[in-house]
Amino acid sequence: MWGIELQKDGEMPLKRQLYMALSERILNGAIKAGEALPSTRGLAQQLKISRNTVVEAYDMLAVEGFILNRPGSVARVAGGLVLEPLTPPAESSREVRPAPVPLLADFRTGHPDLRLFPRYLWQQLSKRTLQEMPYDLLGYTGPQGLPRLREEIAAHLLRSKGLYAAPEDIFITAGATHALNLVTDLLYEEGKPICMEDPCNRGMLQILLNKGYAVNPIPVDKLGVQTEYLQGQPSCAVYVTPSHQFPLGGVLPASRRTALIRYARKKNCYIVEDDYDSEFRYYGDPVAPLYAMDPERVIHIGTFSKVLVPALRIGYVILPGKLHQRWRQLRTHSDVQNPPFEQAVLAEFLHRRKFDRHIRTATKQYGERRQTLLASLKAHFGDIWHAWGDASGLHLAVQFPGMEFDEAFAKNCINHGVRVTPVEYHCIHKGKHADKLLFGYGHMEPEDIEKGVALFHEIVMRFQRE
Amino acid sequence: MWGIELQKDGEMPLKRQLYMALSERILNGAIKAGEALPSTRGLAQQLKISRNTVVEAYDMLAVEGFILNRPGSVARVAGGLVLEPLTPPAESSREVRPAPVPLLADFRTGHPDLRLFPRYLWQQLSKRTLQEMPYDLLGYTGPQGLPRLREEIAAHLLRSKGLYAAPEDIFITAGATHALNLVTDLLYEEGKPICMEDPCNRGMLQILLNKGYAVNPIPVDKLGVQTEYLQGQPSCAVYVTPSHQFPLGGVLPASRRTALIRYARKKNCYIVEDDYDSEFRYYGDPVAPLYAMDPERVIHIGTFSKVLVPALRIGYVILPGKLHQRWRQLRTHSDVQNPPFEQAVLAEFLHRRKFDRHIRTATKQYGERRQTLLASLKAHFGDIWHAWGDASGLHLAVQFPGMEFDEAFAKNCINHGVRVTPVEYHCIHKGKHADKLLFGYGHMEPEDIEKGVALFHEIVMRFQRE
């Protein structure tokens, strides 16, 4: 009948197979409007299935209006259901990735060492949390995040950076990118640009461009953003990385910090402080956040992605009171809230001071890797280079005066098995930092760093000869 | 000296306390620009702390540019750092919630029963997943979601709804709200409105209003959206809930489904199908998704929040190939990705068919609760009411012809310990559904449903007398 063939040992129930076979034929016009369907008994015999299966399939068709099925009369096909056949899909953007060249040394930035994650401990805390979690926490727990986690973050910030933040001013996010995303929605004013360090993280820049922001680049030197270029510029916010400028590494001096605060007060705008990896400082203590200077003008963004692992997807933002209500509304109507379960585990991890311990362990490891990188560069390149920025974070910005690194160079390196990032990649105005490269080292074993620098040296030598 | 008092048994290290005391006094002008700081030895003696602590505090001040500290010369305060004192924060929007009235019966909509969540099983799967998860999954795993979860969702959709979707067309999200949020970013075209069922979920409507969309309301009757009102209307998309209209409950008939597809093809726009709770159907099988009719025109949104628990924060969207690349870009620059860990656990949960089983168990329970609700309404209100919509989902829309339910009525109910939602709450054009109320029942025990309806009956009687 109508060429229907059912898969009797398939995954899909027979009634659904029959329903699909019939509805497809109605939609493509093979079974016409007004046509009578065979009796359930008749069709069951023909297809060698139980009559009940046919009854159920007819019910499905009737519920969805494919057939009119009144008790006592024959089932008939409804009218007006024929659809033109599907046009073949045009210009698909389904991903076809080229097979990646295997990298021998990947100095990509912003990646912590995933093997340092205290997996066993996390597993134990997870188990206990799942066991003890009250049922309420399985439902909707609100856009601000679990109170317990916010209290633990406040305590940690006070312990580690001397930052006073009230738990009620802390809002949990799904990481720093997500935080900036919502912050810029919050601050958007038609026609007002946002000031951004140049160079700055290209991903963060893309967030603002996606939202239709006009971006006003403010130059950066060894110390960080050059606040003298801000004067007179109107904006709804200034995005800065004062503890460890990304990518050049400067620690913003107090004079420029106060200039930022004065600017924000004068222009009645906000400073967005992105504190993405200042936990790792290799000589001395973490730098104090700008937030402390004026909690009503500075929006502070922090994240656990770099310090623990990206997989956590937990960050936070400390917000001036004025912005709380709008934030709650925006978060509720964008992605509702963070999953409560991993918030609860992280709160326990902080409470037991395991996070402080993790930072100490990781800082020691990353500091050694940084030393290895510096020593390897010295061994291969002598004194023709110098490092920029503060001894902190997960990457090093290196200047090779007189050289030029562009996208073609970076591609050439990849083809030879080494990934390095030209600072130019992160520049809004191109051409000012062409002699600088970024080496991410946090995620690499010392021997891989050494091999990588040796290989990189070969590539540079060959490149210069050509 | 300068009134500095250190807490010797405090949580914060002494060096940071000293750093903070000094930087605060520099910022407020108590210690003037150019002033010499005491020698480290002298200050250490005065404060009765070790000299090393003072050295470290001075280092912190020097790194951040508060003081100029050259070896061999006295440390001096840098210039230009004085900030006006903080203005007291104005018009804070910090949340001050009134103490909620305890509810005796909360018929809120959209809440599954959290106690049905198979907690112990989930805990076991979590434990194993954390143990076996490769290290890669702790890092960045991409904006589309874990391939394994996408394969399991595809298999489940085929099994349960006869829906063919390729895993490469499925994109994991942080729930349905998040999915709609990104979809509407994707489809936004300056000046083009979006068509939306009226009534529709007020939270979903708010997403579109937040984005600056003009919303074109399309009326809904017992069967769902009235597609005849679409004709001629320009739009970038039509948002519909064809499997179980929210809130009125209709199953959209095939004739209107084909009308939607024809409209989308003619106007070169998309249909956004929100399939929020069609897994629970109490007579017969789940309704087939609209997606199957034209996978290049329909964007299908599904979620695990209602079927499992909101805490999971996992949903998905099935996207036409044309939109894949833009989606990846948008997701990467909004919240990057879902946490991989719970994706892996959910994949295993689906793989073992525990999800199918959970749906069966929950459907049985919810179906009984629905029966209790219907019986209680009958017992108290006789025949003066009737139910709207299909026997599915987690809530019931009830019409009381001749009555009128507004916000004041809903508040009055809350004050008497019962929450019900007037359909008007979800209406864009007000006044057409004033005689209808929503009763969410999925999360309630049968005895609470009975008590709640009795109480509600009392309130209505009293309200009518006044």
The single residue listed with the structure tokens 């990896």 is A277
* CA–CA dist A383, A395 (Å, integer): 20
**What is the DSSP secondary structure assignment for residue B292, as one 8-state letter?**
G
Q: Do A84 and B265 touch (CB under 8 A)?
A: yes
Among A8-22, B160-174, B217-231, B424-438, where is mean pLDDT lowest? Answer: A8-22
B123 touches A at CB < 8 Å: yes
Among 3.40.50.720, 3.40.640.10, 3.40.920.10, 3.20.20.140, what is the CATH number of B118-355?
3.40.640.10
DSSP B237-257: EEEE-TTS-TTT-PPPPHHHH
Pairing label, strands A418-419, A105-106:
parallel
* A384: its two tokens: 């023709």
* B196: its two tokens: 């939306």
Summary mean pLDDT of chain B: 93
DSSP B45-113: HHHTS-HHHHHHHHHHHHHTTSEE--TTS--EEPSS---PPPPPPPS-----PPPPPPPSEE--SS---
**Which residues face A77 on adjacent strands?**
A67
Identify from B68, B93, B189, B206 which residue to disrupt to test chain A contact, counting A C-beta atoms within 10 A and taking the largest count: B93
Convert the pLDDT of each residue in A111-162 to its tens digit. Answer: 999 999 999 999 999 999 988 888 888 999 999 999 999 999 999 999 888 8
**Which residues face A299 on adjacent strands?**
A272
Return the pLDDT at A94.
67
By CB atoms closer than 10 A (0-12, 13-18, 19+), residue A97 is exposed
Q: What ranges in B170-224 are assigned the alpha helix state H?
A: 176-187, 202-210
Nearest CA in chain A to B161: A16
**Residues B151-169: what's their mean pLDDT?**
94
CATH 1.10.10.10 maps onto chain A at 14-77
B143 — phi, psi (to 5°)?
-75, -10
Say if CB B346 and CB B312 are below 8 A apart.
Answer: yes
Residues in chain B: 466
CA dihedral over B233, B239, B243, B248, signed as positive or negative: negative
* CA–CA dist A250, A261 (Å, integer): 18
| Nearest of B75, B44, B45 to residue B58 by alpha carbon | B75
Helix, strand or coil for residue B2?
coil
pTM of the model: 0.92
Above 70 in pLDDT, residue B87? no
Among A91-105, A377-391, B34-48, B53-67, where is mean pLDDT lowest? Answer: A91-105
User: Domain B14-77 belongs to what architecture?
Assistant: Orthogonal Bundle (1.10)
- Rounded to two decimals, the ipTM of the complex is 0.91
**What is the DSSP secondary structure assignment for residue B37, as one 8-state letter?**
P
Q: Which residues of chain A have pLDDT under 50?
A: none
Chain CA centroid to CA A134, Å: 29
* B228: its two tokens: 């005849």
| Nearest of B404, B388, B385, B405 to residue B396 by alpha carbon | B388
Say if CB B419 and CB B413 are below 8 A apart.
Answer: yes
By CB atoms closer than 10 A (0-12, 13-18, 19+), residue B312 is buried
Say if CB B154 and CB A133 are below 8 A apart.
Answer: no
B341 touches A at CB < 8 Å: yes
Say if CB A220 and CB A429 are below 8 A apart.
Answer: no
Neighbours of B331 (CB within 10 A): 24
Q: Do B89 and A296 touch (CB under 8 A)?
A: yes
Above 70 in pLDDT, residue B161? yes
Cβ density class A197-206: b for 16+ within 10 Å, e for less: bbbbbeebbe
Return the pLDDT at B96.
64
Neighbours of B332 (CB within 10 A): 18
* CA–CA dist A317, A91 (Å, integer): 40
Above 70 in pLDDT, residue B93? no
Return the pLDDT at A96.
64
Neighbours of B29 (CB within 10 A): 13
Nearest CA in chain B to A24: B293
Return the pLDDT at A341.
92
Q: What is the 3-state secondary structure (H, E, C) of chain A?
A: CCCCCCCCCCCCCHHHHHHHHHHHHHHCCCCCCCCECCCHHHHHHHHCCCHHHHHHHHHHHHHCCCEECCCCCCCEECCCCCCCCCCCCCCCCCCCCCCCCCCCEECCCCCCCHHHCCHHHHHHHHHHHHHHCCHHHHCCCCCCCCHHHHHHHHHHHHHHHCCCCCHHHEEEECCHHHHHHHHHHHHCCCCCCEEEEECCCHHHHHHHHHCCCCEEEEEEECCEECHHHCCCCCCCEEEECCCCCCCCCCCCCHHHHHHHHHHHHHHCCEEEEEECCCCCECCCCCCCCHHHHCCCCEEEEEECCCCCCHHHCCEEEECCHHHHHHHHHHHHCCCCCCCHHHHHHHHHHHHCCHHHHHHHHHHHHHHHHHHHHHHHHHHHHCCCCEEECCCECCEEEEECCCCCCCHHHHHHHHHCCEECEEHHHHCCCCCCCCCEEEEECCCCCHHHHHHHHHHHHHHHHHHHHC
- Order the strands of the A237-240 sheet from edge to edge: A170-173, A315-318, A298-303, A270-275, A237-240, A194-198, A215-221, A224-225
Return the pLDDT at A88.
63
* CA–CA dist A27, A84 (Å, integer): 8
**Which residues face B437 on adjacent strands?**
B398, B422
Return the pLDDT at A8.
87
As a whole number of angstroms, the longest Cα–Cα distance in chain A is 96
Which B residues 276-335 touch A at CB under 8 Å?
284-285, 287-288, 293-296, 309-313, 320-326, 328-330, 332-335
Q: What is the dihedral of CA B156, B159, B160, B162, to 10 degrees?
A: 110
Return the pLDDT at B220.
97
* CA–CA dist A341, B212 (Å, integer): 33
Say if CB B214 and CB B241 are below 8 A apart.
Answer: no
A30's CB contacts (< 8 A; 6+ apart) are: A2
Q: Which of B95, B336, B341 sits opposite A177 (nearest CB)?
A: B336
Convert the pLDDT of each residue in B300-337 to its tens digit. Answer: 999 998 899 999 999 999 999 999 999 999 999 999 99
* A246: its two tokens: 């990304």
* CA–CA dist B30, B82 (Å, integer): 9
* CA–CA dist B388, B405 (Å, integer): 16
Cβ density class B70-82: b for 16+ within 10 Å, e for less: eeeeebebbeebe
Say if CB A443 and CB A111 are below 8 A apart.
Answer: yes
Neighbours of A260 (CB within 10 A): 25
Return the pLDDT at B169.
97
CA dihedral over B403, B407, B409, B413, signed as positive or negative: positive
CATH 3.90.1150.10 maps onto chain A at 105-111+357-464
**Residues B12-27: what's their mean pLDDT?**
92
Q: What is the dihedral of CA A387, A389, A391, A395, to 10 degrees?
A: -70
* CA–CA dist B75, A266 (Å, integer): 32
Say if CB A451 and CB A105 are below 8 A apart.
Answer: yes
Among A252-256, B10-14, B361-365, where is mean pLDDT lowest? Answer: B10-14
* A292: its two tokens: 């402390």
In CATH terms, the fold of domain A105-111+357-464 is Aspartate Aminotransferase, domain 1 (3.90.1150)
B90 touches A at CB < 8 Å: yes
* CA–CA dist B272, B263 (Å, integer): 13
B101 touches A at CB < 8 Å: no
Return the pLDDT at B94.
67
Residue A74, CB-side half-sphere exposure with 13 Å CA sphere: 10
Return the pLDDT at A98.
65
Which A residues 129-188 touch B at CB under 8 Å?
130-131, 135-141, 144, 155, 158-159, 161-162, 168-169, 174-175, 177-178, 181
- Order the strands of the A436-440 sheet from edge to edge: A386-388, A395-399, A436-440, A421-422
| Nearest of A94, A59, A66, A60 to residue A80 by alpha carbon | A66
Q: Do B335 and A285 touch (CB under 8 A)?
A: no
Convert the pLDDT of each residue in B375-388 to its tens digit. Answer: 999 999 999 999 99
Pairing label, strands A237-240, A194-198:
parallel
A97 touches B at CB < 8 Å: no
CATH 3.40.640.10 maps onto chain B at 118-355
Q: Which of A64, A111, A178 sits opposite B251 (nearest CB)?
A: A64
* A243: its two tokens: 């503890």
Q: Do B139 and A16 touch (CB under 8 A)?
A: no
